[in-house]
A and B are shown apart, each in its own frame.
Chain A
Amino acid sequence: MKRLGVLFATAALALAACGSGGSGSDSGSGGTAAANGAPETLRIGYQLIPNGDLIVKDQKWLEQALPGTTIVWSKFDSGGDVNTAMISGAIDIGLAGSSPVTKGLSAPLNIAYQVPWIFDVIGDNEALVARNGITDVKGLVGKRVAAPFSSTTHYSLLAVLAEAGLSESQVKILDMEPPDIQAAWQRGDIDGAYVWTPVLAELQKTGKTLVTSRELAQRGKLTADLAVVRTEFAEKYPKALDEWLRQQDRAVKLTRTDKAAAAAAIGRQLNLSPEEATRQLDQLVLLDASEQRSADYLGTPDAPGKLAEHLRSAAEFLKTQQKIDAVPALDVFQKGLATKELADAFAGS
């Protein structure tokens, strides 16, 4: 219901944008924009994940870096909703997991957006937990395991089962939101779940962790929280995007040079104590600009990185789930990486 509501809400937003927005987007390139061709507004869809985006938001670095631009921050709860908002043109830059981005880049959505930045590689903050007594993945045969469908954990769960040589029909997989997973776990209705913090921490108190997403990433099944930027925005306002990228890099560097300050900023945004924020921050893998440009991740314009392959393997997964009709070619995902913008933003470094 909630998602349908969002769909209609974004449709309404799109309508409003069609009505008044013709002039809005014109004015961006016209006289009312800031002198250096900066956009009038930059609309950001963020999610409550303890990564650099929240530091940038908390420290108001973007507002300072782009003084002529109004920054609008809107909170989203899932990548699917971010996709919907992107389709309707309601946001310019958003955060979505690798599974929703794969879906967005594939037909029939074919959303005109690109990945300029990896907010975080999912590590110990997502894991498969099973009831005590189940010692390995094979022990899940015939049991009930929950995960929120279409999320990164759903992808990871099926990857783990495939690794263990189990077919989907051998395990009863249930679609549930994290709070429902916690309730069902406490009642004993489910035997395991692949879920993220803070519910994950509750399950780990009484259950056994079978595998974490950090281990899966090391074995080649990487999941990540990605930035997506509307292609139209990236082409029209490259300087604003450069500035956005540099602030993200600055945030990642802060987590390394002054972790206390970084954790305090994240803690403020998430209503967490600094200690808890530090713990959650440590569970994620954050990448600075030079790591982003390495062959393992986004890569360079001449040699797009391995993230494209990870997205393609997520597409193969979606195909087996009948959520997309065909697996796009690798170069669809390579073109989906904004490697040129990333290279331009850090050309000097």
Chain B
Amino acid sequence: MGAGLWRAAGLRLLAIAVIVAVWQAVAMAKIWPPVFVPEPAAVWRQFVRTATEGYSGYPLAEHLLASLRRILIGCLYGIAGGISLGLLIGMLPSARALLGPLVTFVRTLPPLAYLSLLVIWFGIDEEPKIWLLLLASLPPVAVATAEAVRGVHEDYLNAARSLGAPRWALPWRVVLPSALPEIITGVRVAVGVAYTTVVAAETVNGVPGIGGMVRDAQRYNQTDVVILGIVVIGLSGLLIDFLLQSLDRVLVPWRGRT
């Protein structure tokens, strides 16, 4: 087991080293101008500069925290709404007919298409960003919840009923716990989708914010800052997914054993 872990860690380090080496080689070959492919060292210098002096008036940590805060709030609303909607859709056939297509409709919209509407409706402060992240994270949770709820074994419900459980307690005591593993998978997908929309959410008045920083750098062809932003978004996304997986193990230790 220990050796396996070391092996996995070693493989990952090796993969990163290979990517950086290829990147460095491509940059040094100068097939493309440095504006297209900056050297790894240039990105590192931008990292140090952005972390200490800041970019667009805010240090890197503040950009990241502002974005994480938006993602956290947007996803909390989205997850709460998604679980409620999913329960309704999964348990009531009429709700399924009514809301199912709506959720699918929202899920297929590209965020940039309706961002300008959100700006007109909700202004340029935090509200439109939160709404965009909410709309991005709600459908995956709703779909996963609805599917899981529909898949709850009829025997569980019958058993609870025959043991005298009141009607109102069934969703809370039986349906939700048994659907929890799928819901958490839906949450992981939802957070990922929210993360991919953060740059879109921060196109209007997005500084401080990691997406706003990337967008600002694009405007000035500062490719090294763009790459830095992308790496930071990717790494923080990995970290968050790792945390969600840990949560998964705490909340549903029975996953895969039934």
State whether A174 and B124 are in contact (beta carbons under 8 Å apart), knowing that A84-B221, A184-B119 are contacts in the complex: yes
Residues in A whose Cβ lies below 8 Å from that of B88: none
User: Chain A, 8-21, contact with B by CB distance < 8 Å: what is the 0/1 string?
Assistant: 00010010001000
**Shortest distance in angstroms between B109's beta carbon and chain A's nearest beta carbon?**
15
Residues in A whose Cβ lies below 8 Å from that of B223: 7
Residues in A whose Cβ lies below 8 Å from that of B158: none
User: Chain A, 270-302, contact with B by CB distance < 8 Å: what is the 0/1 string?
Assistant: 000000000000000000000000000000000
| Set B31, B199, B216, B220: member contacting A1, Cβ < 8 A | B199
* B221 close to A109 (CB less than 8 A): yes
A220 at interface, CB cutoff 8 A: no
- Tell me the bound Cα distance from A14 to B204 in angstroms: 31
Interface of B is mostly: loop
| Set A179, A189, A322: member contacting B125, Cβ < 8 A | A189
* A184 close to B219 (CB less than 8 A): no
Name B95-141 residues within 8 Å CB distance of A. Answer: 112, 116, 119-120, 123-125
* A3 close to B116 (CB less than 8 A): no
Residues of B near any A CB (own CB < 8 A): 31-36, 55, 112, 116, 119-120, 123-125, 199-200, 203-207, 212, 215-216, 218-223, 226
For the complex of A and B, 8 pairs with smallest distance between CB atoms: A150-B219, A3-B218, A183-B120, A189-B123, A323-B220, A189-B124, A174-B205, A184-B124
State whether A183 and B218 are in contact (beta carbons under 8 Å apart), knowing that A108-B34, A176-B124, A176-B204 are contacts in the complex: no
Residues in B whose Cβ lies below 8 Å from that of A150: 219-220
The residue in chain A whose Cβ has the minimal distance to the Cβ of B122 is A187
- Tell me the bound Cα distance from A90 to B120 in angstroms: 37
Residues in A whose Cβ lies below 8 Å from that of B199: 1
Interface size class of A (residues with CB under 8 A): 20 to 34
A103 at interface, CB cutoff 8 A: yes
A95 at interface, CB cutoff 8 A: no
Interface of A is mostly: helix
Residues in A whose Cβ lies below 8 Å from that of B215: 3, 175
Q: Can you list 12 residue pairs at the A/B interface with Cβ under 8 Å?
A: A3-B219, A7-B218, A11-B32, A80-B218, A80-B221, A149-B219, A174-B124, A175-B207, A180-B119, A180-B204, A183-B119, A323-B220
Name A309-323 residues within 8 Å CB distance of B. Answer: 322-323
- Tell me the bound Cα distance from A83 to B205 in angstroms: 24
* B116 close to A183 (CB less than 8 A): yes
A190 at interface, CB cutoff 8 A: yes
- Tell me the bound Cα distance from A149 to B120 in angstroms: 20
